[in-house]
C-alpha cells in the first residue's frame, strides 16, 4: 500500500494505491464521510465487473447506498446524463452530508464529480478510478466537468475529492487499447517534470506492459506524486498547472478533427506530444534525439506516432477554438530540455503547418 497526501487549499486528501485487497477502502471511507448515505456512480461495464464487490462491502459495513448506472463512453459526459444523476440523487434522498462515489474511468469521474460539486451546492465526493488514465490523471486534482455539444469539458468546476482509492488489480480487466492510452499520460509526466522518471520508464516499460505489479504500482505512485505536486502549487490553473497540457493542444485538435471516434484520448495525446516535440525541435529548444526518444518509447507501447489523412488547416482551426487559449493565440506547452517544458504562444503558423504535415 502506498499513500500520497495531496495538500490542496480547498480540501486536502489522500490517494491510496493498493492491490488485491479492497478492505482498506472501508476503513478509509469511514474516516472521510459525514454520513452513511452514499450514491455509487458507474458505467455499465464497471457495474458488471466491480459493483458486486462494492455492494457486498458497503452492505456488510451498514452503508445505505444506491447505485446509478450510466452508459459507457464520452457521450455520457453530458448535461442530459447529469440531469438523470440529479434525479437519482433526489430519489436516493441524498442530503448535504451524503457522498457520491465515482467508480470507473475518467468519464464517470468527471461526470459524478460534477454532480457532487453542484448537487445542493456540493456534497461529499470520492474517486475509485479503474482505468490507468483515471488512476494517474483524471481522479487527481479536482477538475470535474461535462461536455457541451460544441466543446469538451466546458461546463465544470474545480472540486477536490475527499479520497482517491486506487486498486491496480482493476487494470487487469481493462481493454488493452485503454491501458496503452494511459501510458501516453504516464510518459507525459517524464517529459514535463522528471527526467529521471523518463529514464526509469525507458528501462521499465516492458514490466509495465506485462502488468508486473511492483513496476506498475511504482509507476502509478510516481505519476500521482508528480500530478499532486503540480496541483498543490496551482490548484485552479492560473500558472504552472498548465504544463499538464503538454501534448494536449495538438492532441485535442486531433481528437476533435476525427470526431472523437478514431483515437482514444491517450492516443491523441501520444500524437500531440510527438508533434509538439517536433515544434520544439524546430524552434531550436531541443535536439532531434529527444524527439526520437519519445517516438521510440511510444512505439514500444503500441501508441501512434504519425498522423495520416488529416489536413493541418483543420487541426489549426480546432486549436484556435481550444478553451486553454488566452486571447487569440494558440498556447503550446513545449519541451525545453530533458524533463522540462515551458509555455509558448506565438508560434509561426507556417512552421506549425509544415510540422503537422510532416
Ligand atoms: N478531470 C481531469 O483532470 C481529466 C484528465 C484527463 C482526462 N479526463 C477525462 O477522462 C475521460 C477519459 O477517461 P478514460 O480514459 O478513463 O475513459 P472512460 O471512462 O470512458 O473508460 C474507458 C472504457 O473503459 C471501461 N472501463 C473502465 N474501467 C474498466 C476496468 N477496470 N475494466 C474494464 N473496463 C473498464 C469503461 O467502461 C469505458 O468503456 C475523458 O472524458 C477526459 O476528458 C479528465
Ligand atoms: Zn489527458
* Chain centroid offset of residue 206 CA: 22
Helix (H, G, I), strand (E, B) or coil at 329: strand
Using CA of residue 170, residue 174, residue 177, residue 178, what is the dihedral sign? negative
Whether ligand 1 lies within 6 angstroms of the CB of 198 is answered as: no
Whether ligand 1 lies within 6 angstroms of the CB of 24 is answered as: no
Determine whether 237 is an active site residue. yes
What is the average pLDDT value for the chain, to the nearest integer?
95
Say whether both 265 and 146 belong to one domain: no
Query: Which one from 81, 252, 278, 293 is the annotated catalytic residue?
Result: 252
Which of 148, 173, 198 is a domain's end point? Answer: 173
Partners of residue 128 on adjacent β-strands: 103
**CA 344 to CA 18: how far, in whole Å?**
38
Whether ligand 1 lies within 6 angstroms of the CB of 72 is answered as: yes
CA of 276 to the centre of ligand 2 (A): 14
Residue for cell digits 487569440? 328
- 260 has pLDDT over 90: no
Closest among 193, 222, 185, 219 to 204, alpha carbons compared: 219
Say whether both 128 and 237 belong to one domain: no
* Chain centroid offset of residue 23 CA: 25
Say whether both 40 and 137 belong to one domain: yes
Which of 173, 204, 222 is a domain's end point? Answer: 173
Partners of residue 43 on adjacent β-strands: 70
- 325 has pLDDT over 80: no
Determine whether 222 is an active site residue. no
Which of 136, 157, 173 is a domain's end point? Answer: 173
For residue 326, the model assigns a pLDDT of: 63
Closest among 205, 214, 241 to 226, alpha carbons compared: 241
Say whether both 41 and 139 belong to one domain: yes
Closest among 207, 29, 49 to 131, alpha carbons compared: 49
pLDDT band with cut points at 50, 70 and 90 for residue 257: very high
Q: Are 109 and 265 in contact (CB under 8 A)?
A: no
Say whether both 80 and 200 belong to one domain: no
Determine whether 248 is an active site residue. yes
CA of 356 to the centre of ligand 2 (A): 20
Whether ligand 1 lies within 6 angstroms of the CB of 156 is answered as: no
- 207 has pLDDT over 90: yes
pLDDT digits (tens, 9 = 90+) for 10-20: 999 999 999 98
Say whether both 113 and 71 belong to one domain: yes
CA of 64 to the centre of ligand 2 (A): 34
Protein residue with its CA nearest to atom 4 in ligand 1: 138
**CA 145 to CA 134: how far, in whole Å?**
14
Say whether both 208 and 318 belong to one domain: yes
pLDDT digits (tens, 9 = 90+) for 92-124: 999 999 999 999 999 999 999 999 999 999 999
Determine whether 235 is an active site residue. no
The bridge status of strand 124-129 relative to strand 163-167 is parallel
DSSP conformation class of 274? H
- 196 has pLDDT over 90: yes
For residue 210, give the CATH number of its domain. Answer: 1.20.1090.10
Say whether both 206 and 330 belong to one domain: yes
**CA 193 to CA 335: how far, in whole Å?**
10
CA of 307 to the centre of ligand 2 (A): 18
| Nearest atom, ligand 1, residue 152 CA | 43
- Extract the runs of DSSP E, i.e. beta strands, from the chain: 2-6, 13-18, 37-43, 64-70, 99-104, 124-129, 143-148, 151-158, 163-167, 332-337, 340-344
Helix (H, G, I), strand (E, B) or coil at 243: helix
Say whether both 245 and 191 belong to one domain: yes
Whether ligand 1 lies within 6 angstroms of the CB of 77 is answered as: yes
Say whether both 263 and 207 belong to one domain: yes
For residue 20, the model assigns a pLDDT of: 84
Whether ligand 1 lies within 6 angstroms of the CB of 304 is answered as: no
Closest among 213, 206, 212, 207 to 167, alpha carbons compared: 213
Whether ligand 1 lies within 6 angstroms of the CB of 105 is answered as: yes
Give the H or E element holding residue 57.
helix 44-60
Q: How many domains does the chain have?
A: 2
For residue 120, what are the domain limits?
2-173
**CA 131 to CA 106: how far, in whole Å?**
8
pLDDT band with cut points at 50, 70 and 90 for residue 346: confident
CA of 131 to the centre of ligand 1 (A): 6
**CA 335 to CA 343: how far, in whole Å?**
9
pLDDT band with cut points at 50, 70 and 90 for residue 322: confident
pLDDT digits (tens, 9 = 90+) for 212-221: 999 999 999 9
Closest among 328, 333, 335 to 349, alpha carbons compared: 328
**CA 70 to CA 86: how far, in whole Å?**
13
Helix (H, G, I), strand (E, B) or coil at 141: coil
Say whether both 148 and 241 belong to one domain: no
| Nearest atom, ligand 1, residue 141 CA | 3
Determine whether 56 is an active site residue. no
pLDDT band with cut points at 50, 70 and 90 for residue 324: low
pLDDT digits (tens, 9 = 90+) for 128-137: 999 999 999 9
Longest alpha-carbon distance in the chain: 63
DSSP 94-117: --TT-EEEEEESHHHHHHHHHHHH
For residue 95, give the CATH number of its domain. Answer: 3.40.50.1970
Q: What is the percentage of the chain residues whose pLDDT exceeds 70? A: 98
For residue 328, the model assigns a pLDDT of: 67
pLDDT band with cut points at 50, 70 and 90 for residue 316: very high
pLDDT digits (tens, 9 = 90+) for 270-297: 999 999 999 999 999 999 999 999 999 9
Say whether both 148 and 290 belong to one domain: no
Determine whether 245 is an active site residue. yes
Closest among 24, 85, 22, 84 to 55, alpha carbons compared: 22
For residue 320, the model assigns a pLDDT of: 86
pLDDT digits (tens, 9 = 90+) for 42-82: 999 999 999 999 999 999 999 999 999 999 999 999 999 99
Query: Which one from 37, 65, 185, 278 is the annotated catalytic residue?
Result: 185
More reliable by pLDDT, 315 or 323: 315
Amino acid at each position: 500500500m502506498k499513500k500520497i497526501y495531496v495538500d490542496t487549499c480547498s480540501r486536502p486528501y489522500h490517494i491510496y494505491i493498493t492491490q488485491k485487497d479492497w478492505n482498506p477502502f472501508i476503513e478509509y471511507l469511514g474516516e472521510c464521510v459525514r454520513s452513511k448515505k452514499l450514491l455509487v456512480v458507474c458505467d455499465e461495464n464497471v457495474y458488471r465487473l466491480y459493483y458486486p464487490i462494492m455492494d457486498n462491502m458497503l452492505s456488510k459495513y451498514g452503508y445505505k447506498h444506491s447505485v446509478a448506472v450510466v452508459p459507457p463512453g464520452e457521450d455520457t459526459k453530458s448535461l442530459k446524463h447529469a440531469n438523470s444523476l440529479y434525479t437519482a440523487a433526489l430519489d436516493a434522498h441524498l442530503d448535504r452530508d451524503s457522498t457520491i462515489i465515482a467508480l470507473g474511468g475518467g468519464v464517470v469521474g468527471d461526470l459524478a464529480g460534477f454532480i457532487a460539486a453542484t448537487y445542493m451546492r456540493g456534497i461529499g465526493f470520492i474517486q475509485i478510478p479503474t482505468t490507468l488514465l483515471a488512476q494517474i490523471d483524471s481522479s487527481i486534482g479536482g477538475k470535474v466537468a461535462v461536455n457541451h455539444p460544441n466543446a469538451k469539458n466546458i461546463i465544470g468546476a474545480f472540486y477536490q475529492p475527499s479520497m482517491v482509492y486506487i486498486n491496480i488489480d482493476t487494470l487487469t480487466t481493462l481493454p488493452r487499447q485503454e491501458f496503452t492510452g494511459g501510458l501516453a499520460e504516464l510518459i507525459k509526466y517524464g517529459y514535463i517534470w522528471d527526467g529521471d522518471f523518463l529514464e526509469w520508464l525507458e528501462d521499465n516499460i516492458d514490466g509495465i506492459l506485462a502488468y508486473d505489479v511492483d513496476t506498475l504500482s511504482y509507476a502509478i505512485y510516481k505519476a500521482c506524486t508528480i500530478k499532486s505536486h503540480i496541483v498543490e502549487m496551482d490548484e485552479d490553473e492560473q500558472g504552472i498547472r498548465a504544463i499538464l497540457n503538454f501534448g494536449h493542444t495538438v492532441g485535442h485538435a486531433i481528437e476533435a478533427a476525427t470526431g472523437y471516434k478514431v483515437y482514444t484520448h491517450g492516443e491523441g495525446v501520444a500524437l500531440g506530444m510527438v508533434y509538439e516535440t517536433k515544434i520544439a525541435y524546430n524552434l531550436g529548444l531541443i535536439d532531434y534525439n529527444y524527439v526520437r526518444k519519445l517516438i521510440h518509447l511510444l512505439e514500444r507501447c503500441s501508441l501512434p506516432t504519425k498522423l495520416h489523412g488529416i489536413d493541418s488547416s483543420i487541426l489549426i482551426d480546432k486549436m484556435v477554438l481550444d478553451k486553454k487559449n488566452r486571447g487569440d493565440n494558440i498556447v503550446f506547452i513545449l519541451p525545453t530540455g530533458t524533463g522540462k517544458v515551458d509555455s509558448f504562444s506565438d508560434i509561426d503558423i507556417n512552421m506549425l503547418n509544415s510540422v503537422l504535415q510532416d
